[in-house]
Amino acid sequence: MIRIVNLMEDTCGTDGCLYEHGLSFYVETSGHKLLADTGASEKTLENAGKLGIDLKQVDTVVISHGHYDHGGGIPAFARMNPDARIYIRENAFGKFYHEKPNGAHYIGLDPDIENLPQLIRVSGDCRIDEELSLFTNVTGRRLWPQGNKELTCKEEESMRQDDFSHEQYLVIHDSGKNVLISGCAHNGILNILDAYKERFGGCPDAVVSGFHMMKKQGYNDEDLETIDQIAKELKKLPCQFFTGHCTGEIPFERMRKVMGNQIEYIRCGQEIQWQNCK
């Protein structure tokens, strides 16, 4: 049994749910109640209450990477539930920025989070138990998201291109199914799936992830060609894709023209209908 509910996303899918730029999924397995990311704020917790989900019962939290829109809700969650283990990459507390025309904007995590006693700092691939696995260190650059070029990391007094070594991916093994959950897939969904194949063999039954294709300034021909190429590659795979957040509406619609019902957009408050997965 795998149940996945979106607690936070950039768009509203259920009346009464709050929404903002961020991502969080509530997941139930045979042995766990967990969060994959916490969204940007305590609004994620409010949505859980409105959806009848008791986050005090959560035993595990996995933070996909060190950006505020995925881990900003950690302090509020930790106050509500101080016992859940929070798995986060050891380098997720870097000084991360989004370079914009009006300057660099900090997008990293609240430094105080690093002092929480329930944090488990992950240095590499990690098998939590028979149901949950984490992997990281994806170094491929095939069709790497172009939006990454605007994202940097500050080291001492210099800025460098973020290499997203602080990104990790959750794999759920339950009920004969394998589900891959990624936050933004900054390292490129195709590269992440290549790494999954190396570690676990084959493809997961379902992938839940943003694809980091959203661009506020519009899409040029190269952007659109890249989106089409990724969609064509994903269509070849025997798995169902659920996306949202940083994918963007325009890229999603373009991908759907190629992939059809193999890809679905999951909005705030919506539950993934697992029985429809391949």
Summarised one tens digit per residue, pLDDT across range 52-104 is 999 999 999 999 999 999 999 999 999 999 999 999 999 999 999 999 888 89
Mean of all residue pLDDT scores within the chain = 95
Q: Which two tokens stand for residue 238?
A: 């025997």
In the chain, what percentage of residues exceed pLDDT 70? Answer: 98
130-139, 153-162, 230-239: the lowest-pLDDT one: 153-162
Give me the mean pLDDT over the 250-274 stretch. Answer: 95
> Has residue 141 got a pLDDT over 60?
yes
Task: Delineate the domains of the chain, giving CATH numbers in brackets.
Answer: 3-276 (3.60.15.10)
pLDDT at 218: 86
pLDDT at 21: 97
> Has residue 275 got a pLDDT over 60?
no
Rg, Å, the chain Cα set: 17
pLDDT at 31: 97
Q: Which two tokens stand for residue 150?
A: 């605007």
Please report which confidence band the pLDDT of residue 268 belongs to, taking 50, 70 and 90 as the band edges: very high
What are 194's strand-pairing partners? Answer: none
Q: Are strands 132-136 and 151-155 parallel, antiparallel or unpaired?
A: unpaired
For the residues of 95-158, what is the DSSP string, one character each? EEEEEETTEEEE-S--GGGGG-TTEEEE-S-EE-SSSEEEEE-----TT--GGGGGEEEEETTE
